[in-house]
Amino acid sequence: MSRLQGRLALITGATRGIGAAVAKRFAAEGAHVILVGRTQGALEELDDEIGDSGGAATLVPLDLRQFDDIDRLGLGLHERFGKLDILVGNAAGLPQLSPTAQIDPQVWQEIIDVNLTANARLIRSLDPLLRRSDAGRAVFTTCAAARDAGAYWNAYAASKAGLEALVRSYAAEIASTPVRANLVDPGPVHTRLRNNAFPGESKASLRKPEDVTGPFVAAASADCTRNGEIFTL
């Protein structure tokens, strides 16, 4: 397990679920992981777990809705590391499902901010650092709802559809550089976000977060040549 040996990887939404699992897998694969999340205590717990397994991490408590802080993140990483090899835009929110005509404007804005705009701001802030890597990789977590939105999924589905369009556009722009940008659709996974959407669903048939880290490693690896695509299990 050394496909990411010596790489510097930033992961958003790292405190739980898929983000935490990806962070632990990347560290096990040899990456130094930069853990981004809102909760200091949860970041420290994950840091301890990674350290106990021989990995290394840097903690960045950050609310992705504070867009100016994302701009400062790029500057801070440049001053400390000079580059970034891997960006994993994983953080996401899912509101209580509701009819489109009744969605609270504040709820709509929060979901668009976290799931879409924050990733656009991350690209804006971190693209110069990815270009300083010999093989910069940007990876974003998506969902089938982006392509097959059912009733009441309005804000979440729109944010993920927008994210997919954003990443495809970015991928086309960087095609002539060493940077690659892709998405991962892990399918149904036993996470808090999934449970909020399907509270009565049986969890026995769902994959665990640690079961879906493989495509993230593949998309983050320096030997990945795919660009603007969706990785699945």
What integer best gives the mean pLDDT of the chain? 96
- Please state the rounded mean pLDDT for residues 36-64: 97
| pLDDT tens digits along 88-139 | 999 999 998 999 999 999 999 999 999 999 999 999 999 999 999 999 999 9
pTM for the structure as a whole: 0.96
pLDDT over 90, % of the chain:
92
152 included as an active-site residue: no
Query: What are the structural domains of the chain?
Result: 8-232 (3.40.50.720)
Looking at residue 200, what is its pLDDT?
Answer: 79
- Please state the rounded mean pLDDT for residues 24-41: 98
The answer to whether residue 193 scores a pLDDT higher than 90 is no
Looking at residue 178, what is its pLDDT?
Answer: 98
The answer to whether residue 13 scores a pLDDT higher than 90 is yes
The answer to whether residue 87 scores a pLDDT higher than 90 is yes
| Cβ-Cβ contacts under 8 Å for 5 (sequence gap 6 or more) | 29, 30, 31
Looking at residue 148, what is its pLDDT?
Answer: 96
| pLDDT tens digits along 148-166 | 999 999 999 999 999 999 9
Looking at residue 192, what is its pLDDT?
Answer: 82
- Please state the rounded mean pLDDT for residues 164-170: 98
The answer to whether residue 17 scores a pLDDT higher than 90 is yes
Q: How far apart are CA 10 and CA 89, in angstroms?
A: 8
The answer to whether residue 196 scores a pLDDT higher than 80 is no
* Count of Cβ atoms closer than 10 Å to residue 51 Cβ: 12
Backbone angles phi, psi at 230, to 5 degrees: -110, 120
Could you write out the three-class secondary structure of 214-226?
HHHHHHHCCCCCC
Looking at residue 202, what is its pLDDT?
Answer: 83
Looking at residue 199, what is its pLDDT?
Answer: 80
Active-site residue (options: 26, 140, 153, 156): 156
Looking at residue 1, what is its pLDDT?
Answer: 73
Nearest partner of 78 among 31, 125, 22, 138, judged by Cα: 125
The answer to whether residue 6 scores a pLDDT higher than 90 is yes
